[in-house]
Structure 1
Amino acid sequence: MSEGQEQRSVRVMLEEAWDVSKTVVIAVGITLFVRFFFIQPFNIPSASMEPTLMTGDFILVDKIDYGYSKASLIFPLTRLPLEGRMFSDMPQRGEVAVFKNANDRNKDYVKRIVGLPGDTIQVIGGVLHVNGQAVTREPIPDPETTCEGYSPQARRYRETLPGGPTYIVQECDGNRGAADNTAPKKVPEGHYFAMGDNRDRSLDSRSTTVNFVPHDALVGHARRVIFSVDGDKARFYEVWKWPFAIRYERIGDKVE
C-alpha cells in the first residue's frame, strides 16, 4: 500500500470514528434531555406499593406534571445547593408520586399522596383518617393472595379519598403495629403526606425516616408500567428466563 493510500485509509477511519462518536454523543444528549424534562424510568425494588405496583415493575414517571427542581436532576447533581421549583404544580390527593428522601441518602421513594398542605392525617386501627374523617374502605375478597408469598393471607380494601380518588390497599399484619395507630399530624405548607398501598410493609410519612415530603423533593408523577419481571422466577440479568418470568399482563397498565 502506498503512502497516499495509507493516509486516505487513516483519514477514513478517523472520519468513521468521529461519526460514531457524534452519534453516541447525540443519543446520550437526547436521552438525558428526555429524562430531565419529560419522562424517566424507575424500577420498583420492594413490595411497599402492592398491589398497585409489584416488585420487579418498571414504571414511567411524568416529570412535567410537578415542574422541576434539583430532585429532577440525575444523581449526583441532586447535591447541588439549588432551591425552589420551576413551572411548579401541586400533586393531587391520590396520585402516585416519586420523590427524593433526604433522610435516606436521597433515595427515590414511590408512594401515594394522601395528604395535602393543611390536611390533618391520622391512622386509627389501620384506617386512614383525613381531617378527622375516616376514609371509605370496602373489603375485597381475595383468598388466594398472600403477603409476599407467605402466610398470613393479605386483606385488601378499596379505599376512597375525599374528592373521589380510589385505589386498592393491602394489609398483612393486622392493626398491631405503631404505623396502624398514629398521632394526628398536620401537613405543613409546601409538604405532602405519602403512604404506601401495602400498609404493613411500607416505610412512609408515618415514620420519622420519611415524614412529610417537601414540594421540592418531588421527582414526578408515576404513569404506566412499561415492563415487569417476577423476581421469584428470574433476576433482571437472567434474560434467558424472561419468557417465563415476564408479567405480560402488567405491561402498559396505567398506575392508578
Structure 2
Amino acid sequence: MADKAIRKEGGIWETVKTVFWALVIAGIFRTLFFQPFWIPSGSMKDTLLIGDFLFVNKMAYGYSRYSCPFSMCPISGRILGSEPKEGDVIVFRHPTLGVDYVKRLIGMPGDRVKMTDGRLFINGQPVKTEPAGVFTELKEPQGRAGTMPICSNDPVPRGGVCEKERFTETLPNGVSHDILNAFDGAPLDDTAEFTVPAGNYFFMGDNRDNSLDSRVDSTGRGGMVGVGMVPEEYLIGRADRVIFSSAGKSLLYFWTWRPDRFFRAIR
C-alpha cells in the first residue's frame, strides 16, 4: 500500500512538473516569437474580418515591456528594435485602455497626416486611390459579440447583401492595400492636420468609416476614445498571416468557418 501511495504521489508530481514546464515554454514562445490574436471588430475590413485568428510576429520590431503578458517585461524603452514600415499591419497596446489593437501604420515620425473629403493626405500630398469594386457581406451578426456590419446600401434586411465601396490605396512608399468607404460625409472624413511626434506612429483602420484610430484622441475627450499617437514602445508585433477564420460565435460552429481565408497573407 505504501509503495502504491508513493507511486501515485510521484505520478502527480510528474504531472505538475510537466504542466509547469509546458506553461514556461508557452510563455517564452508567446513573449519572444508569436502571440495569438483574434480580430474582434470590423475596423480593418476587408483586410481582416471579424473572427480572423492570426499569430503576431513579435520579432519584427524588437521588444518592450509590452511584449510580455501583463506588461511584465523588465525592459526600459525598446531593445533589438527595427523600424516598422509605412503600410504594415501592426498589433499594439492601446496607450490608455491597456488592451491590444490592430491597425495599419499610416504616418511615420515627422509626417503630416490629414483627411479631406474622405481622402488621405500625407505631407500635403493626396495619397493615390483607385476604385476596386464593391465589398459585399451578409448583414447578420458577426463574431462573439454579434456585431452587425455597416452598409452603404442601408436599409438592408437581416440576411441581405451589405455593400461598401472598395478602393486600392497606395502609400508614398509604394505599399498598396484595400480600404472601404461606407458613406460620404462620415465624422472622420475631414480632420485637422496631425504632425506625428518623434518616436510615435499614426494608425488608421482600413474600414475608414468604422474605425476609431489615430484620428481621435486616446483619452476620450469629445466623447470618443480613439488611439491618438502611439509611442514606439507600445508596438507588439506585425500581423503577417491569417491562420484560421470563423464568422460564428463559437469555433464549434464549423459551418461558419471561412476556409478561403486559412493561411492567407496579410497585405
1:43 paired residue number: 38
Percent identity, aligned pairs only, is 39
Tell me the TM-score normalised to structure 2 length: 0.86
1:89 paired residue number: 82
Distance (whole Å) between structure 1 residues aligned to residue 138 and residue 257 of structure 2: 20
Gaps of 5+ in 1: 1-5
1:21 paired residue number: 16
1:255 paired residue number: 266
1:33 paired residue number: 28
CA deviation after TM superposition for structure 1 residue 97, in Å: 0.3
Letter in 1 for 2:61: Y
Distance (whole Å) between structure 1 residues aligned to residue 125 and residue 198 of structure 2: 21
The answer to whether the 8 A contact 2:151-2:164 is kept is: no
- 1:201-212 to 2 correspondences below 5 Å: 201-209=210-218, 210-212=227-229
CA deviation after TM superposition for structure 1 residue 178, in Å: 3.0
- Count of residue correspondences: 241
The answer to whether the 8 A contact 1:146-1:154 is kept is: no
- 1:150-189 to 2 correspondences below 5 Å: 150-152=151-153, 153-174=163-184, 176-189=185-198
Tell me the TM-score normalised to structure 1 length: 0.90
Q: How far does the alpha carbon of each residue in 1:48-79 deviate from its partner, in whole angstroms, 9 at most, with x for none?
A: 0000000011111000111111111112637x
RMSD: 1.7
Distance (whole Å) between structure 2 residues aligned to residue 119 and residue 195 of structure 1: 14
2:250 paired residue number: 236
The answer to whether the 8 A contact 1:41-1:58 is kept is: yes
CA spacing shift, 1:200–1:143, aligned 2, 3 Å: closer
Gaps of 5+ in 2: 140-148, 154-162, 219-226
CA deviation after TM superposition for structure 1 residue 173, in Å: 2.1
